[in-house]
């Protein structure tokens, strides 16, 4: 995740870009840069390290330019050097970018074959060259950007500036957020409204697939199909709050939508996409010598731990014990000195998880924490922090923190497997490639939003709903049921699909919808058999599967929700999306307080 800004105004732009970047520093701060147009020509200032280094450059380079773009970086492709810092320039194109271009290696090879010299290790520079080539071929900026967008795979947001075009910025988004602020004869672009808050509170949020042509006194937005569209203008509270709903009705909706971006950011911290390997912080424990891992957490974080058990046991051949922290802390579990314990927590303040952490430390374990709030007690008391970069999660129901936890844990499982000699470099590369595709796949999964809304309305009047899953997606069934009950107050339970006939099947009748989570992995046929067992007893099935699964078995279901086909390794991250949306829309339909459901608190600091 990186922060991007653009300003096309009437006052000198350099310090304004800096001010906007400062507010985006939470998105990344390993290098930064700005570019502006001075008498029609690019001028660029970049610096490795924190934004202060860039500030020094800005201060020693006075400029009256009024149009510019800026970037604060969280490295995904290439080290955090000045050379790799944005903006990237190719010919008459300067660009800032947030996200991952998955097919950049192929595009880079094509450019190099055509004689283009690529200076940085980034995926971003490739996009600048591609647009520049189109301009040289005679296309206008807007056409050039549109043609290049069609060539790109991945999840991203861009702001692009053109030499000689003093009244034009072009922006585009697919998966990563982008807001456009309206001033008086000025326009501002930023990764979020917080960046724009010093300049304006009137904001238009681009939707997925949009491209915006921005001039000082005019904004034209085009959707993915190239049709001109009008996106609503909203008034943001960002300046007062520093977090806002980003044009969404609820924080939960915003946080669900942010997932491509924050998962990408989190992965970028632990995965070197360029080299196809996982890079985790050093741990004060010999990972090849430990004989098990103990994972403790609560609620949704506990389900992330359950998914990790499947990953770690399969990939690293290491036994994993997962427990809810409130049970573990009093269980007096025997733990070997020098072993490894993992705690997982969004807030980093959950009392039971903290107590479990302290118990593990008392027993001489090394404790690693997967945690979203780096200043939290759990982060401070752990030996190693594996931070999730979900950003502030305001909705009480955890969504983006969960999928970011999964992203970290997937990387951790690969790392463990490599350290323990259970995985070769080629397999690591393959899985890293699979992980790099996740932000894009999540974008596609989110496109089912409107359909899931109609499904949610059809089942929202049920008194009880069951969720079934198998293998690595069994925890997703548990998570789906938890999400639904906590915000819609519908009674829901998750079951391992194979366990149903050992009791819960007695609950089934035509009034009990059953949500079946069935990616086409090696357990697909077995899950389908379980689905048929409940369908035969009159249950209304909501089948969540991929398109091929839907083609094969959709007819047996009351409703089908299709998730993009993907390697089974990443299916828990993808299948988390529809269950979040199902709960969200059911709750909105029923009119409950989605962001602050009754009886709950975001941070459970009492046991």
Q: Are 508 and 534 in contact (CB under 8 A)?
A: yes
What is the number of the residue whose Cβ is closest to ligand F6R?
A: 299
The one catalytic residue in 43, 363, 526, 602 is 602
Among 123, 208, 261, 486, binds ligand F6R (CB under 6 A): 486
Q: Is 255 in the site for ligand F6R (CB under 6 A)?
A: no
Q: According to the binding rule CB under 6 A, does residue 266 interact with ligand F6R?
A: no
Residue 350 or residue 403: which is nearer to ligand F6R going by CB? Answer: 350
Helices then strands, each counted (H, E), the chain: 21, 27
Q: Would you give the DSSP letter of residue 118?
A: P
Q: How far is the CB of 334 from ligand F6R (least distance, A)?
A: 25
Question: Is 355 among the residues that bind ligand F6R (CB under 6 A)?
Answer: no
Q: Does 347 bind ligand F6R (CB under 6 A)?
A: yes
DSSP codes, 250-285: SHHHHHHHTHHHHHHHHHHHHEETTTTEE-----SS
Q: Which is nearer to ligand F6R, 102 or 595 (CB)?
A: 595
Closest approach of Cβ 268 to ligand F6R, in Å? 22
Q: How far is the CB of 263 from ligand F6R (least distance, A)?
A: 17
CA distance readout (Å), 356 to 305, 384, 492, 600: 14, 16, 28, 21
Kindly state whether residue 350 participates in binding ligand F6R, applying the rule CB under 6 A.
Answer: yes
- Hey, what are 223's tokens? 């959707």
Q: Long-range pairs for 165-169 at CB < 8 Å and ≥24 separation?
A: 165/37, 165/141, 166/37, 166/40, 166/67, 167/8, 167/67, 167/215, 167/216, 168/8, 168/141, 168/213, 168/214, 168/215, 169/6, 169/8, 169/67, 169/69, 169/214
Catalytic member of 2, 298, 360, 404: 2
Torsion of CA 123, 127, 129, 132, to 10 degrees: -170
Q: Does 488 bind ligand F6R (CB under 6 A)?
A: no
Q: Which span sits near ligand F6R by CB under 6 A: 38-46, 345-353, 500-508, 579-587?
A: 345-353
C-alpha to C-alpha distance for 458 and 558, rounded to whole angstroms: 10
Q: Does 397 bind ligand F6R (CB under 6 A)?
A: yes
Q: Decide if residue 353 touches ligand F6R (CB under 6 A).
A: yes
Choose the stretch contacting ligand F6R; rule: CB under 6 A; options: 117-125, 346-354, 416-424, 570-578: 346-354
Q: How far is the CB of 410 from ligand F6R (least distance, A)?
A: 18
Q: By C-beta, is 93 or 484 nearer to ligand F6R?
A: 484
3-state secondary structure of 320: strand
Which of residues 131 and 357 has its CB atom nearest to ligand F6R in the complex?
357
Mask of contacts with ligand F6R, 574-603, x by CB under 6 A? -----------------------------x
The answer to the question of residue 296 lying near ligand F6R (CB under 6 A) is no
For the chain, give the longest Cα–Cα distance.
77
413: Cα within 13 Å, side-chain hemisphere:
29
Take residue 519 and report the two structure tokens written for it. 């990616």
What is the 3-state secondary structure of 525-562? HHHHHHHHHHHCCCCEEEEEECHHHHHHHHHHCCEEEE
Name residues contacting ligand F6R, limited to 525-544 (CB under 6 A).
Answer: none
602 is catalytic: yes
Should residue 306 be labelled a site residue for ligand F6R when binding is judged by CB under 6 A?
no
Asked if residue 301 binds ligand F6R (CB under 6 A), the reply is: yes
**Do 22 and 76 meet the contact criterion of CB atoms below 8 Å apart?**
no
| Annotation says 2 is catalytic | yes
Q: Is 139 helix (H, G, I), strand (E, B) or coil?
A: coil
Residues belonging to the active site: 2, 602
State the residues that interact with ligand F6R by CB under 6 A.
Answer: 298-301, 345-347, 350, 353, 397-398, 482, 486, 603-604
């Amino acid at each position: 995740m990186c922060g991007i800004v653009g300003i096309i105004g009437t006052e000198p732009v350099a310090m304004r870009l800096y001010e906007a970047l400062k507010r985006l520093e939470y998105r990344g701060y390993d290098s930064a840069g700005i570019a502006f147009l001075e008498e029609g020509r690019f001028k660029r200032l970049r610096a490795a390290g924190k934004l202060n280094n860039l500030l020094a450059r800005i201060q020693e380079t006075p400029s009256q330019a009024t149009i510019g773009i800026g970037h604060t970086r969280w490295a995904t492709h290439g080290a955090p050097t000045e050379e790799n810092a944005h903006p990237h320039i190719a010919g008459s194109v300067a660009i800032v970018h947030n996200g991952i271009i998955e097919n950049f290696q192929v595009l880079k090879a094509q450019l190099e074959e055509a004689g283009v010299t690529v200076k940085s290790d980034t995926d971003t520079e490739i996009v600048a060259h591609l647009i520049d080539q189109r301009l040289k071929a005679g296309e206008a900026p807007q056409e050039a950007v549109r043609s290049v967008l069609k060539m790109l795979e991945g999840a991203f947001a861009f702001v692009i500036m053109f030499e000689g075009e003093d009244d034009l910025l072009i922006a585009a988004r697919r998966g990563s957020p982008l807001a456009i602020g309206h001033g008086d004869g000025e326009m501002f672009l930023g990764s979020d409204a917080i960046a724009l808050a010093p300049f304006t509170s009137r904001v238009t949020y681009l939707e997925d697939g949009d491209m915006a042509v921005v001039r000082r006194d005019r904004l034209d937005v085009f959707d993915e199909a190239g049709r001109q569209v009008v996106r609503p203008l909203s008034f943001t509270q960002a300046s007062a709050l520093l977090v806002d709903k980003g044009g969404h009705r609820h924080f939960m909706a915003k946080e669900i939508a942010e997932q491509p971006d924050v998962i990408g950011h989190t992965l970028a911290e632990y995965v070197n996409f360029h080299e196809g390997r996982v890079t985790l912080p050093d741990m004060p424990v010999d990972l090849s010598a430990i004989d098990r891992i103990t994972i403790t957490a609560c609620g949704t974080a506990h389900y992330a731990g359950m998914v990790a058990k499947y990953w770690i046991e399969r990939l690293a051949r290491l036994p994993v014990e997962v427990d809810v922290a409130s049970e573990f802390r009093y269980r007096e579990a025997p733990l070997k000195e020098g072993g490894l314990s993992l705690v997982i927590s969004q807030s980093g303040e959950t009392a039971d998880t903290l107590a479990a952490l302290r118990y593990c430390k008392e027993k001489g374990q090394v404790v690693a924490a997967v945690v979203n709030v780096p200043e939290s007690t759990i982060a401070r008391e752990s030996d190693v922090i594996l931070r999730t970069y979900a950003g502030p999660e305001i909705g009480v129901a955890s969504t983006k923190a969960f999928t970011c936890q999964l992203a970290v844990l997937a990387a951790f499982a690969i790392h463990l497997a490599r350290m323990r000699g259970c995985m070769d470099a080629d397999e690591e590369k393959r899985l890293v490639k699979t992980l790099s595709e996740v932000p894009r796949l999540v974008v596609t999964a989110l496109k089912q939003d409107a359909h899931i809304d109609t499904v949610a309305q059809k089942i929202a009047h049920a008194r009880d709903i069951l969720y079934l899953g198998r293998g690595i997606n069994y925890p997703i069934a548990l998570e789906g049921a938890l999400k639904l009950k906590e915000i819609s107050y519908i009674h829901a339970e998750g079951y391992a699909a194979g366990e149903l006939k050992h009791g819960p099947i007695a609950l089934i009748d035509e009034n009990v919808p059953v949500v079946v989570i069935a990616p086409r992995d090696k357990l697909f046929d077995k899950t389908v058999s379980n689905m048929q067992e409940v369908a035969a007893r009159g249950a209304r099935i909501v089948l969540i599967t991929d398109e091929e699964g839907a083609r094969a078995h959709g007819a047996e279901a009351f409703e089908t929700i299709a998730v993009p086909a993907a390697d089974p390794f990443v299916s828990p991250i993808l299948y988390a999306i529809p269950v979040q949306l199902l709960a969200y829309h059911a709750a909105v339909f029923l009119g409950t307080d989605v962001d602050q459901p009754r009886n709950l608190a975001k941070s459970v600091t009492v046991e």
